[in-house]
Chains A and B, each alone.
Chain A
Amino acid sequence: MRLVRYIRLLGLQVRMSLLLGMQYRWDFLTQGLMQILWMALSLLPLWVAFRARAGGGDIEAAQIGDWGIYGALVVYGVFWLLRAVLEGVINPSLGAVVEHIRKGTLDFMLLKPADAQFLVSTARFAPWHMIDGLAALALLSFAIVRHGQVSGQGPPGLPQVLAAAGIFVCGVAILYAVWVLVICAAFYVVKLDNLSYLFTSVFDFARWPRSVFRGALHVVFTYVIPLVVMTSYPADALRGQLGPWQAAWSVLWAGVMLALSRWVWQRAIARYTSASS
């Protein structure tokens, strides 16, 4: 059974990464704590924005567009959760591919009797990001409960939570697909490691609720680089304000991006000539 084999392979890869991560226990803790500290620090611009908006008044009443501070905090929590997935699951393995391509060691991956995209995508996990993932979940839960109290909506029900989780998975899929596309660019232009840096600096804007982007920027971040889909839509779902159109759009985007990344990956691999030839 192909599927069973791949699931077992995945289990093996995860175990390897865990063992590797546990070897550096200190790293595990310090990295995790650093991330949480970082998360707290980077809340500052959001807080500053709402404080400036309130202009000395009640910060809970301040609004940017139709988003209050707790709604924005929900977006923020989703952003950090997504970031933990990106840095913990997607980034460590795919980031190494660029290095493999340049050094020619990608050949060893291609020789193994399993799908190459699967292998390079699961080669390495960074387990300490579990810590900031959990912290993000805590922040998210706090923010949505407070949001329910302030707006008088009450906490979200099970359908909302499920919808949010579904949209979140779509966001992860889009993020993964974009990353694969970035990697594929490295097959063509070898010195391109800073593309990942560009990618992260654009992704950083996903921490803001969608109402801060107006006009052209809103169109770009919804339809071209779907940052809004990744973080604001799950928050919308939790607040019970996600329309069926938006949900359909997220699923459609995720499907198209996954298919596209798969197609481009196969083309890129076919074109790959390894470092020696």
Chain B
Amino acid sequence: MPGIWQGIRAYPTLLRIGLAEAVAYRAEMLVWMLTTTMPLVNMALWSTVATGRRLGPEGLSGGDLVVYFLLTLIVRLLTGSWVLWEMNQEIRGGAMSQRLLRPVHPILAYSAENLAAIPLRGLLVLPICAGLLLLSGQGRLTSDPVLIGAALVSLPGAWALTFLSMVLCGALAFYIESSLALFQIWMGTYALLSGYMVPLSLLPAGVRGVAEALPFRYMLDFPVKLMMGFPQADGRPVTHGLVLLHLGIEYAYVVALLVAVGLLWRAGLRRYAAFGA
């Protein structure tokens, strides 16, 4: 397919444009950045709940929860995406038509904008978090090189899952008029099932089972757990085979989402054209 090749050739330029845009809309950037600091409130909240008590089957203490939520903040900064929000606006407002006229596939363009914004987003908050983590993470972070490597490998997958699932929801905006509700549903499900609001190990068994089967956990919970040494419910250290298995599942989800996005996008585009837009 010539389109993809063109896209890959244009990608470095797209990244530069994305960075320039991110710098241009600094105010917007700052607001997104403030939004991503919400795990700090969750952190305070759950460490209150954990005062004088250890929570859940893993026996999370207040200190564990502090490290946990700092890590979720870092992972979210590195892998977060707002593409659903933007797509929504552009499909409703008609700006999508202009995007479609360009020779680069819109999804590629979106991903470039998204990736280019990550360094700027991390610039402010990341050093602070890393510092806090060094202070409070003593003995709670893994030192196993395999787990650290796995965590690094899982991050691009986490980003891809977040991005693709958002594009999938965004593509539904071709079918459903009020897709802002979709954004809320996505955010809500994500908050509950990815470990963003509650560490997954604290969920009741049934819900936990659902959360662990769905791709949401690989967006946040999985990389965070890896960095914390992937504690198991029975207290034994995690085997490397299990880590590999989870990485495999994560990337299988990425591929599945990629296929789903491809199909839905093409079908949705036909409908969009039919609107006369």
Instruction: Bin the interface of chain A by size.
Output: 20 to 34
Interface size of B by Cβ–Cβ distance < 8 Å?
31
Nearest Cβ distance between residue A59 and chain B, in whole angstroms? 12
Are A52 and B192 neighbours in the complex by a CB distance under 8 Å?
A: no
Known: A52-B53, A197-B31, A202-B38. 8 other contacts (CB 8 A): A38-B188, A45-B197, A49-B46, A53-B53, A55-B53, A195-B31, A197-B85, A208-B45
A-B contact pairs, 7 of them (CB 8 A): A55-B55, A65-B48, A192-B27, A197-B35, A202-B38, A213-B44, A214-B48
A198–B25 Cα distance when bound, in Å, is 16
Chain B interface (Cβ < 8 Å from any Cβ of A): 25, 27-28, 31-32, 34-35, 38, 41, 44-46, 48-50, 53, 55-56, 82, 85, 89, 178, 181, 188, 192, 197-198, 202-204, 207
Let me know if B56 and A52 touch, CB within 8 A: yes
Check B85–A194 contact: CB distance below 8 A.
yes
The reply to whether A213 and B56 form a contact with Cβ atoms under 8 Å apart is no
How far in angstroms is the closest Cβ of chain A from B256? 25
Q: Is the CB of B44 within 8 A of A194?
A: no
Q: Is the CB of A211 within 8 A of B48?
A: yes
- Select which of B32, B41, B55, B197 is within 8 A of A52 by beta carbon: B55
> Which residues of A are found within 8 Å of B53, using beta-carbon distances?
52-53, 55
How far is it, in angstroms, between the C-alpha of A198 and the C-alpha of B30 when the chains are bound? 10
Q: How far is the CB of A203 from chain B (nearest CB, A)?
A: 11
Q: Nearest CB to that of B25 among chain A residues?
A: A191
A192 to B55: give the CA distance in the assembly, Å.
40
Q: Tell me if A214 and B204 are in contact (CB < 8 A).
A: no
- Chain B residues within 8 Å of A165, by CB: none
Q: Decide yes or no: A48 and B48 within 8 Å by CB, A194-B31, A194-B32, A197-B85 being known contacts.
A: no
Contact call B198/A48, Cβ cutoff below 8 A: yes
Q: In the complex, which residues of chain B have a beta carbon less than 8 angstroms from the beta carbon of A65?
A: 48
| Residues of the A chain whose Cβ atoms lie less than 8 Å from the Cβ of B203 | 44, 48
Complex: A215 Cα to B41 Cα, angstroms: 12
The minimal Cβ–Cβ distance linking B108 to chain A, given in whole angstroms, is 23
The CA of A181 and the CA of B170, in the complex, are separated in Å by: 30
Report the Cα distance A214→B49, complex, angstroms.
Answer: 11
Within 8 A of B (CB), among A11-60: 27, 31, 34, 38, 41-42, 44-45, 48-49, 51-53, 55
